[in-house]
Structure 1
């Protein structure tokens, strides 16, 4: 089959063990390794793959973002990934508010394109940055605002699809007698059979289907019951989880964008009170009421990107909050409703609870930026919950049961009793407005006893749902988790009808079998990610992973933090994941790498997989930007994991010439600078460029940074006024050897500012200090540790008395706040890390304390700024903007960019050059080219500046140089003024 596919389609055909492993999981706890994967370039190729698989007797599972909670997108046959290429808007009717899209288009991408027309598609699922429309249709997704906009089914007008036998058809609205279909229409007989089934089973459907909006379980047989003599046959496909037909196009209903919003954050002293209040709050007609419980609040306070949001939106220590959102066209109307919300909370008796010392009021949120931040936090709810650093994790299986609102408080209270009965507790968040909560008991599915507890909890929870006449599938579908329980929910007769529908559409069972009908047991451990024989042996790791459980001092636990939520697949916003944005390959996204690591350390990819060529290929395009460390909601730190893999590779296979040249740069840079003309000869010789590419893997298309003979040499170990406040300036290798102007500028800014600047040297007078960054990038952890040992010895005495340690190169300085802590746990290392600040962080701190006095002058009207990835990861980029705004008359514009693509030595690699340029072309280089010639381009990273110059021929400056220029201009202006004053008057 692989050979046929490779001959007949031009897209990727992936049948190797590593690729199949990466597609074996979704965001559920299941793992089923497929026969192979196809990534078609066109829909014709996708349908050709379906035909070939059918001929070969292989099952087919269509896949989008792979973020399903219930195991919908895993199966043992052929996976067809539609997300890379089949992601376009095919047509748009702005006046009619409709569009037709390919199934692989991501919701956020669709809405970005619709926004300029004043439209959006409002089924706003929390995974909007990676959820595809095809997957959302397959699950009948709902989103947080379904109270107003309805579900995916309510907003799907028609679908085009292929049956398993290759028959193509449009599924849309038809008359009950099918008189509007031509007699020769191939789907007429199928539609007739379906409508007859609907008429036959109308009473049973009315009796057994739950009367809640959020019912997405089973097939939508109620769509077959005649309404006004018409039926929309597409609504039978919606929610069918790819089991009935292979979708090729989806026609969507669009809505005007929301222009004004107001949020009320309602605080409650108990969880029960919050759940009971929901039925009253919806009477004010909000578009959403979202729950955030105590557990999520506590975890969010420990996540850097969410901590300030919680501080601004949550007062005191509530057990739960409900975020009530109003979005009427007129903001005045929203503010009236916000006031009514406060009054209603008062009428319900929620204020200051003297006995429990808890506040139960409302915080009004009208600032758009904070509203968006709260929405981001709520959307990340699942992943925030999964950030627990322990073996047990919140598990999705009673994930999104929905009950009528009057029963919500009692249902959740009894559900917590069920959890306690089985020795666990649960986390809850999400859509209180619809009686649909994302409920996850904390379990360790590596343990048989917890698997048994899961089974018992499922049975008891679903019994509660039936008692309250709710739905056991309220948003995320059935998949492998809930399909087994359809008979108890819908009854034997309707389950037989489901099977009849599947048989009529797909008699050979080709399309995504085992979902909705004929499902395996949900607790079949042979289908789990952690199967009964799952083992990770002891790992000899180089870095400290003690914050996590598992082998390798916790390396196993760190790898297993990835729950496949797919946040790393976002295409815009933030930094993560730059390589995926460039290639759209599952191999090149943080999730794909983490899955590969997990399979490797557990022996599922063969012996020595961790150091294998395939593993290195998996990590090749990881630029160690550290964005995942900051932006992954579960905190997967792939840059740190890559160091471990590289170290294992070095231990097994040794070093390549390129790794030696990169890793040992700090040790030979001083020598090379003495013979700069010879060292730089490679840049001027086409022959040497070709030889370097052939033998060292360094691209001939790149000019290497030029060594210089006038390297930075501190004028003394201490400069500046004797009475000035002390600061240490860390002269890193890159700025010292290649761009000493930056260190000269920083030294001038600090001394003019009145600081006494220390420039420590090694105690034994050997080569200059280094952070070990280049050694880490080559997997030479011992060498990096040795360099950091020298640095700590020199800096520790200053840190001990509270002297700030300031650096210019973000990747070097922030190594002291990151990797140093993973290599040394002693008090000296901790002190050095605690006092390490970027140049801009230090200046902002001093300015805010009123201690920074710099005579600055105007240098330009505008600067455009590119932030270094590590600055963004450590929350150190905002100070860059703040410092630049100290310059008089300067407008600061930040480029919304991911990684520049150079990433240290990455952009120089012959095998990574193209990917490097692709990353830069996503947003950085186009923005720089658009900038006016008089606009100053600013970038703190050495690599960033080189990429900008190579890709745009523009010179980018470090902030230190901009400030030094500003000092120069102020001096010039002062001198001119002084000279003019001294001249004799001729008036």
Structure 2
């Protein structure tokens, strides 16, 4: 379980560290893994807020005899950021751009700044840091320096080393130094005796370095001793620290070189090949055209991506047929140069025998992509390669250990062919993608490293693959560094003399071996199972689950397999764009990101956090800020659905410990809403009398700062009776009147009825049998973890809707969270054909309209509204790919000026925004982008939000009223078609 920190040291850390200190087993467990196969429980975690925190942590670790490992995004593939000592995380606080010299194209940054965040700051100045790694949304500059990261365009821009000017660093003994070019005067230079020793080593070993270091650009193994040789004079000592994996010093400020942004006129050629070998043979010819990158996507990746909703539109836009491999060739020069290069690319492909239309088979060719939006989507698809490969729902997964070997391009086809044979020899196969331009392919054999036989196969494959790489004079570390995976193989790769030089460097910088020990030198065996995420004896007990998890292998009814889909690559840690993970964007805590929650669940399920950890308060705290936005369901390429997992954990906890009064109040809303509506005046007193609001906070945990929804009782009077009894003789729609619309926002239902009837559809309200109870999706029960109650609602709803579906009617709803419950959770609550049939026929209001419009059946006469519209998408609309439907529905209105807010979760998220314990986070989520965008919108703009919760958050946070898309369309109806059309505003009932 890792080394333990003495109480005295714990008190010292708490006293001296300005940032956060975590010594509890749950937090340590979340930092025990990175994106590799390894897991080592650290003694403690320091989230440094200042450079002084880093120095204090180093002093404390040195005096305690603990190792210290620096960590940024925690996305290392080789185990670089796991340790039994102290981990220092720089990503939460030490993430500033300190200096920017636009004219000189240089910047000074703190190590924890994320690459995408940095590039957003640089973009207005026409600059970027061009080492464009696939993990750019979470990779920190400090981590990139530690690993000497490369990126897709290293063919043009080089590696991180080529773009680092200088580094301010703290050495193991606490000495502070400025590491840069030795011919430039700088204050705070490193110790002279250390500099002299390194220069002497470089001169002494220059010939051996030239002989043993692979002559390929993608060489990031070992220490960069070549930077010390006369060939690189004037020597830049920063380049020795680059790629050292935090074993020589701790970066506190990094000076980097910047480049002009790529031209927006770039062209992309998607070269299709009938065989994988053909693509590998072609790579050297395509690189001769001097593109900025040549990236591989193989058939396995294409096939897996076609199962992931978010990637389907992209694949349909540029992939022809079923190629065995694609090479994505990018040109980023002037327009005429790009056009000439694309023509040359087509000529080269034609000369190789591949050109659409050139032969009867049409087995290859080039698809030219000029649309920048599509190019970005393709780049995101390629960047997600690792996660896409890891989305396989089986025990065996693509395992990283020979992943980024680099060989000269002329040997690439032969190398990949022989490596495939090695995999087959050991009973497996590999997945392939990434940097064909550099001869550095990300290849992962499928193995189940819970099994001894597969761990032995891993070892054998590594030894044979590395021997082959040496035969080709390549590098066994082409991009992701050494870590635990490759460090032990340095003697074979570089020879004993170079390894001795590595050890000499380590001893000079860190004689006590305290900085990230076991990496690069003095490494453990790569197949030591005691260091792995799934050590010997790893097991999960079965437990009766509320959801059906059988689609995943493993114990706990398949829940284990679903949780283990998280590979720690950290796509959930992005700070902008799309939705995932909204709570992390506010807190920047590892606990509050999908990866952190999944790791905690895995450790709890397997008993590594103690008895009954799954039911513990620490687990409840881990899941508290998950708003069940379901963004991870779509945006996590491995499909980790944390919202569903949270409901399952709450169910397990509730069965064992019961439910709180607040949980029961929230969950029971659909049942007591009719009675609350009858006494809405009394219920409303809570918001008008401060003492009652304070009492509700004490009794139920409902924040006194948040107004509650106003119960309404005007739905039945003018809609329900009229519509429910109508028997349509033509095309009909069953309107699923959800609890929230029925009792809080009936104007949305009225508007939907008006629009549907104006379009010629007869409307029936779903499930209001005489004297019966209205149908409910069970969403409130899911939020409280009452899965048995949710299942009962699902069964009742399915039974009521099936006859309507069999008559050919569509099920249409207005509240995204409700309709998507029918399409998602129902399948896991009541698995079978009936639930699937309901899921296939349940549509959002706007999805139905656009389906009818596409089929030519929509006869809706709309007029301009004369006002712009600002649209905020509900999280579930985004998670299920439904945003295009609501945008298209609004664009049915003639001349509408529509803007879409690039927002994450609004922060309300059902009951989350009412909770006194989470209201601050709720409002902070809204302030990330949504609320400022609404405030900045023109005064006459129509604010559109389909979610009840979203509208409430907008009202509370901006005092502007948002309305449902149905209300906008109703207001745009031609008066001749709908004389009763309401004005364009949300109705307010007394």
Q: State the TM-score, normalized to the length of structure 1.
A: 0.97
**Contact 2:61-2:86 within 8 A present in 1 as well:** yes
Match of 1:684 in 2: 688
Match of 2:364 in 1: 360
Matching residue within 106, 109, 112 for 1:104? 112
Match of 2:472 in 1: 468
**Structure 2 SS opposite 1:305:** helix
Between 859-868 and 756-765, report the one with greater CA deviation. Answer: 756-765
Matching of residue 281 in structure 1 with residue 281 in structure 2: no
Match of 2:272 in 1: 267
Measured in 2, the distance between the counterparts of 1:228 and 1:266 equals: 38
Measured in 2, the distance between the counterparts of 1:727 and 1:629 equals: 29
Matching of residue 208 in structure 1 with residue 209 in structure 2: no
Measured in 2, the distance between the counterparts of 1:341 and 1:228 equals: 36
- Could you say what the CA RMSD is over the residues aligned between the two structures, in angstroms? 1.7
- CA deviation string 1:336-359 (max 9, x = no partner): 100110001111222469999451
User: Which structure 2 residues correspond to residues 695-734 of structure 1 after superposition, within 5 A?
Assistant: 695-712=699-716, 714-716=720-722, 718=724, 722-734=728-740
Measured in 1, the distance between the counterparts of 2:498 and 2:119 equals: 37
Between 541-550 and 757-766, report the one with greater CA deviation. Answer: 757-766
Matching residue within 297, 303, 316 for 2:321? 316
**Contact 1:718-1:756 within 8 A present in 2 as well:** no
**Contact 1:60-1:80 within 8 A present in 2 as well:** yes
- CA deviation string 1:506-535 (max 9, x = no partner): 011111000000000000000000000100
- Shift in Å, 1:971: 6.4
- CA deviation string 1:558-594 (max 9, x = no partner): 0000000100000111100000001000000000000
Measured in 2, the distance between the counterparts of 1:616 and 1:358 equals: 56
Match of 2:987 in 1: none
- CA deviation string 1:705-732 (max 9, x = no partner): 0112324451245477944311110000
Match of 2:6 in 1: none
Match of 1:984 in 2: none
Match of 1:978 in 2: none
Structure 1: segments with no counterpart, 5+ residues? 976-987
User: Which structure 2 residues correspond to residues 38-187 of structure 1 after superposition, within 5 A?
Assistant: 38-175=46-183, 187=191
Matching of residue 433 in structure 1 with residue 437 in structure 2: yes
In the alignment of these two chains, the number of paired residues is: 970
**Structure 2 SS opposite 1:38:** strand
Measured in 2, the distance between the counterparts of 1:450 and 1:113 equals: 46
Matching residue within 816, 824, 839 for 1:818? 824
Match of 1:783 in 2: 789
- Shift in Å, 1:801: 3.0
Matching of residue 808 in structure 1 with residue 814 in structure 2: yes
**Contact 1:353-1:360 within 8 A present in 2 as well:** no
Matching of residue 874 in structure 1 with residue 845 in structure 2: no
- CA deviation string 1:480-521 (max 9, x = no partner): 000000000000010000000000000111110000000000
Between 873-882 and 581-590, report the one with greater CA deviation. Answer: 873-882
- Shift in Å, 1:790: 1.7
Matching of residue 795 in structure 1 with residue 801 in structure 2: yes
Between 673-682 and 454-463, report the one with greater CA deviation. Answer: 673-682
Measured in 2, the distance between the counterparts of 1:567 and 1:320 equals: 25
- CA deviation string 1:592-644 (max 9, x = no partner): 00000000000001111111100000000000000000000111000010110
- Shift in Å, 1:333: 1.1
- Shift in Å, 1:826: 3.2
Match of 1:980 in 2: none
**Structure 2 SS opposite 1:544:** coil
Measured in 1, the distance between the counterparts of 2:563 and 2:186 equals: 55
**Structure 2 SS opposite 1:896:** coil
Match of 2:21 in 1: 13
- CA deviation string 1:365-423 (max 9, x = no partner): 11111111110000001110000000000000001000000000000100001000000
Match of 2:665 in 1: 661
- Shift in Å, 1:852: 1.4
**Contact 1:404-1:468 within 8 A present in 2 as well:** yes
Measured in 2, the distance between the counterparts of 1:752 and 1:268 equals: 52
**Could you say if the C-alpha distance between residues 234 and 710 of structure 1 is closer, same or farther in structure 2, counting changes exceeding 3 Å?**
same
Matching of residue 327 in structure 1 with residue 335 in structure 2: no
Match of 1:594 in 2: 598
Match of 1:673 in 2: 677
Matching of residue 306 in structure 1 with residue 311 in structure 2: yes
Measured in 2, the distance between the counterparts of 1:95 and 1:313 equals: 39
Match of 1:979 in 2: none
**Contact 2:179-2:190 within 8 A present in 1 as well:** no
Matching residue within 188, 194, 197 for 2:198? 194
Structure 2: segments with no counterpart, 5+ residues? 1-8, 982-990
**Could you say if the C-alpha distance between residues 970 and 57 of structure 1 is closer, same or farther in structure 2, counting changes exceeding 3 Å?**
farther
Between 739-748 and 705-714, report the one with greater CA deviation. Answer: 705-714
Between 844-853 and 212-221, report the one with greater CA deviation. Answer: 844-853
**Could you say if the C-alpha distance between residues 614 and 709 of structure 1 is closer, same or farther in structure 2, counting changes exceeding 3 Å?**
same
- Shift in Å, 1:861: 2.4
**Structure 1 SS opposite 2:100:** strand
Match of 2:258 in 1: 254
- Shift in Å, 1:793: 1.6
**Could you say if the C-alpha distance between residues 749 and 327 of structure 1 is closer, same or farther in structure 2, counting changes exceeding 3 Å?**
same
- Shift in Å, 1:214: 0.4
Between 372-381 and 49-58, report the one with greater CA deviation. Answer: 49-58
**Contact 2:106-2:256 within 8 A present in 1 as well:** yes
**Contact 1:269-1:358 within 8 A present in 2 as well:** no
Measured in 1, the distance between the counterparts of 2:608 and 2:107 equals: 44
**Contact 2:206-2:230 within 8 A present in 1 as well:** no
- Shift in Å, 1:229: 4.0
Matching of residue 755 in structure 1 with residue 761 in structure 2: yes
- Shift in Å, 1:66: 0.1
**Contact 1:720-1:755 within 8 A present in 2 as well:** no
**Could you say if the C-alpha distance between residues 110 and 719 of structure 1 is closer, same or farther in structure 2, counting changes exceeding 3 Å?**
farther
- Shift in Å, 1:185: 5.2
Measured in 2, the distance between the counterparts of 1:83 and 1:782 equals: 41
Measured in 1, the distance between the counterparts of 2:251 and 2:573 equals: 22
Match of 2:865 in 1: 859
**Contact 2:29-2:599 within 8 A present in 1 as well:** yes
Between 758-767 and 83-92, report the one with greater CA deviation. Answer: 758-767
